[in-house]
Amino acid sequence: MTTLKVGDKAPNFSAQDQDGNTINLEAYAGKKLVIFFYPKASTPGCTAEACNLKDNYQVFQEQGFEIIGVSADSAKRQQNFKNKYELPYPLLADEDKSVIEAFGVWGPKKFMGKEYDGIHRTTFVIDEVGIISEVISKVKTKDHAAQIL
């Protein structure tokens, strides 16, 4: 789905998180960043993925990684998701899909025989200088941290 690949410069982005704070790529300069795109907050697969990353958050921190979650949900929905599962990282409320489209993860999907447009569950690992070092398109929601680390 995405046209971005390992070695590409990560798209610059700027979006509001669940608390209305502006988050952008520049803020993470000099740090490794995991940015994961998920279809919908508080759904079973997205909850499993977000909680798996939360459960391994300390390991990510020890290895110098920051984490950001992104979906097209509203800030209120993201805030509820973050609070309910005590997620330690920001969730971007990308309602206009500017970040989602910049990373190329919006497109046609199929579910139970129906076709529709939606977010493809994809994770990007970005290095300290803003270059994509890994693209994970076959995300294992319950074991995603191991896929990244």
Question: Is 51 an annotated catalytic residue?
Answer: no
Q: Please pick, among 10, 15, 41, 46, the residue that the annotation labels catalytic.
A: 46
Alpha helices in the chain (DSSP H): 44-55, 57-62, 75-84, 98-102, 144-148
Largest CA distance in the chain: 44
CB atoms within 10 A of CB 102: 18
| Residue 99 CA to its chain's centroid (Å) | 10
Active-site residues, by number, are 46
